[in-house]
Amino acid sequence: MKRTKSKPVKKAAKAAPRTKAEQRAETLEQILDAAEYLFSKHGLYGVTLRDVAQKVGVHTSLMHYYFEDKFALFKEVFVRRAAVTSERRMKALDQYEKEVKGKPTVAGALHVFLDTDFDLYMSGGEGWKNYGAFGSQLSNTPEGGAMFDEHFDPVVLRLIGLLKKALPGIPEEDIFWGYHFVTGSFMHSLSRSGRLDRLSSGLCKSDDLKAIKARMADFMAAGFSALKK
């Protein structure tokens, strides 16, 4: 199963970068973008450093100039945007709690947690879409586990805290299970795998994040209410 190689993405007539620092930053970003795209399609082991270099339009050995090895590149792809989304969500949850004066609802907290990220993936450009697919693959992977923990657990625990406040009668483990369902659906949505398109004969498009955002938080909030026995 030979994969079709993608065309180099580097601009033919690149405006000469002024300083070395700028050039470094530019090349780094191009490498990370190319790697992100390729990893999102084929995973860590399905991409070679040569693939990445070719897509950027530079020599393979440059990969080792900027990154220790392939796994270091992979981790950097993960970390680069993980910091952005975590911070955004954390701030949004802080603000939400302030707005509701410490009395959150399940639907409210879920809307903030999910919609904030959906907005980012919807309007952040190709890079963020690729990152979503990249992360969704990783999330169902043993290798991915540890990376998610380190970078996302703080925000997730922030959300869990709000859900506990909103659901005082519910056993803690039920809230974790509820979150487990939420994150599975959310990650699957970011994969935009195209399965739903074929399953529904085109009625729904799996890359229609707007449609998903419009439904997901309320769907899940209702689910939480079913945990009350």
Chain contacts with DNA (rule: CB under 7 A): 16-21, 23-24, 27, 48-51, 58-62, 64-65, 69-70
Token pair 């080792």 is at which residue? 64
Whether 53 contacts 80, CB under 8 Å = no
Token pair belonging to 79: 């970390």
Check residue 68 for interaction with a second copy (CB under 8 A): no
Among residues 4 and 19, whose Cβ is nearest to DNA? 19
Exactly one of 5, 50, 153, 164 binds a second copy (CB under 8 A); that residue is 153
3-state helix, strand, coil in the chain (%, to 5): 75, 0, 25
**Residue 157 interacts with a second copy (CB under 8 A): yes or no:** yes
How far apart are the C-alpha atoms of 35 and 60, rounded to whole Å? 13
Which of 156, 148, 81, 152 shows the shortest CA–CA distance to 112? 156
Smaller CB separation from DNA, 33 or 97: 33
Binding partner selected for residue 13 from DNA, a second copy, none, CB under the kind-specific 5 to 8 Å limit: none
Number of H helices, E strands in the chain: 10, 0
- Minimum CB–partner distance for residue 146 and DNA (Å): 19
Residue (65 or 176) nearer to a second copy, CB: 176
Distance of alpha carbon 71 from alpha carbon 178, whole angstroms: 32
The least CB distance from residue 14 to a second copy, in Å, is 30
- Closer residue to a second copy in complex, CB, 42/165: 42
How far is Cα of residue 104 from the mean position of the Cα atoms in its chain?
25
Tell me which residues touch a second copy (CB under 8 A). 1, 41-46, 71, 133, 136-137, 139-145, 148-149, 153, 156-157, 172-174, 176-189, 191, 193-196, 198-200, 203-204, 206, 211-212, 215-216, 218-227
